[in-house]
Amino acid sequence: MKEKVSMVSLGCPKNLVDAEVMLGCLAKDQYEITTDEHAADIIIVNTCSFIGDAKKESIDTILDLADRKHDGRCRLLVVTGCLPQRYQEELAAELPEVDIFVGTADYPRIAEIIAAKRGVAEQLRYISDPNYIFDESLPRLKSSPAYTAYLKIAEGCSNCCSYCVIPSLRGALRSRPLDNLLMEARTLVSNGTKEINLIAQDITAWGRDLPGTPTLEELIRELAKIAGLRWIRLLYAYPDGITDGLIEIIKTEPKVCKYLDIPIQHISDPVLKRMNRRSTEPQIRELIAKMRSEIPEIALRTSLIVGFPGETDDDFRTLLTYVEETQFDRLGVFCYSREEGTPAAEMDDQVSERVKRDRYKKLMKVQARLSFKRNRRLIDTEEEVIVEGYSDETDLLLKGRSSRQAPDIDGQVYITAGTANVGDIVRLRITDSSDYDLIGEIVEE
């Protein structure tokens, strides 16, 4: 009888791709995959440790699932990903319930590693230097709906922002070759994928380390040639890497969503300098103005950090004013997390938690108002929408996402009239909106 494996993946979509590769390797090795943790012989927790809240969620999840070794059939609890890569010694001492720890470079060996535990009583650890990057030869068992997929185009990061632990957890930038990516994309599309979301720590860095230094624009052009692929979405584009060529291809290529996620992190030059960001306030302002001028309909998303060491009241007011002026369509805000091993953790003038929370609340209150205002502008316009199923509140309403909304983070569209199947891409006339969601009716072709 096949042993059953259940996977819990925490953190970002990049982590989710790693989890799907592990599931693919295990399914190929004759394990049965289940979503029922109580029925699982082996439970894997794929963890995140990017900031304090992510570490807490990972630890809480591990402790909760450790109970399955007592009240379920679980014989092995496996912890993978960023948390053991960063804290292997501490975790080994504090979590004896865990049978195996696996770092960010060893996850493709998951079946071999689990097999090695048979007959071995002691806790095992597989934590190598973070220098691996998977290719299309590895199986991948998607956990997301067939119509949408993430395509991880690179691993690691060489930007070295002063607050970030990613280089130590994931290593330096390693781009996947173009042919490798196109082969995976074609496989995804042949299996029903209509939307591909390009992800990496910084997608604009893709190709810099490859022979011939291909560009992100070249990758997009080749992906756009794939028959059956409808949407290409760009996530995590650092502002200093956004070229005129990239703006042009977003503007002119019909398959590229008029959407871009640009994590600027702050706008005050003194804060940007301490963050070791390469962009300055004038450069960021010029970039956003150019994108809005060239592509008026584009939806722009950004992420910001409040409470960075040395952030003064004036710095925060500059940020708040900029957000008011710019009116990003989507915005995520994080309170600065003091992460050991980073240059920012050793900086003077650390900001209190109370001040961080206060600034966070002020910024999110402003963004809720601005998001509502941006959404109201869409009423009586038409949007392409991918249908995702029935509303969580009632099976009388379909729900979906417009091309201006990324999976999981950008709200939804509720469909009040018309019929469609899950995965269909339809034209929708927007009739109403809320702070973050849209409401509309299918336009009959």
pLDDT digits (tens, 9 = 90+) for 371-410: 999 989 999 999 999 999 988 777 778 999 999 999 988 8
pLDDT of amino acid 414: 92
Mean pLDDT of all residues in the chain? 92
Q: String of b and e for 328-350 (b: at least 16 CB within 10 Å)? A: bbbbbbbbbbbbeebebeeeeeb
What does the pLDDT read at residue 325?
95
pLDDT at residue 323, rounded to an integer:
96
Mean pLDDT of 220-242: 96
For 183-216, the pLDDT digits (tens) are: 999 999 999 999 999 999 999 999 999 999 999 9
Determine the 3-state secondary structure of 321 from DSSP. Answer: helix
Provide the pLDDT for residue 89: 87
Helix (H) or strand (E) holding 359: helix 353-376
Q: For every residue of 180-221, which 3-state class applies, written as one string? A: HHHHHHHHHHHCCCCEEEEECCCHHHCCCCCCCCCCHHHHHH
Q: What is the CA radius of gyration of the chain?
A: 22
What DSSP state is assigned to residue 265?
B
- Is the pLDDT reported for residue 445 higher than 70? no
What pLDDT is attached to residue 119? 82
β-partners of residue 387 are 400
Whole-number percent of the chain with pLDDT over 70: 100
Average pLDDT score over residue span 114-139: 86
Given this model, what pLDDT does residue 49 score?
82
Average pLDDT over residues 67-73: 78
Q: Say if residues 288 and 260 touch (Cβ distance below 8 Å).
A: no
pLDDT given for residue 210 in this prediction: 96
Contact of 156 with 171, CB cutoff 8 Å: yes
Residue type, 242: I
Quote the pTM value: 0.92
From the CB of residue 26, how many other CB atoms can be counted at a distance below 10 Å? 22
Query: Of residues 393 and 79, which shows the higher confidence score?
Result: 79
Long-range interactions of 224-228: CB distance < 8 A, separation 24+: 224/253, 224/255, 224/256, 226/182, 226/185, 226/186, 226/189, 227/189, 228/189, 228/190, 228/194
Mean pLDDT, residues 317-330: 96
Task: Indicate whether 444 pLDDT > 80.
Answer: no
End-to-end CA distance of the chain: 51
Out of 52-61, 293-302, 354-363, pick the least confident: 52-61
Of 317 and 36, more confident: 317
User: Residue 385 forms beta bridges with which residues?
Assistant: 402, 426
Residue 120 pLDDT grade (very low, low, confident, very high; cuts 50, 70, 90): confident
Mean pLDDT of 352-373: 95
pLDDT tier, 1 (very low <50, low <70, confident <90, very high otherwise): confident
- Residue 100: its pLDDT value, please? 94
CA triple 37-38-43, angle to 5 deg: 40
For the residues 322-349, what does the mean pLDDT come to? 94
For range 208-226, the mean pLDDT: 97
> For 339-348, 386-395, 413-422, which range has the lowest pLDDT when averaged over its residues?
386-395
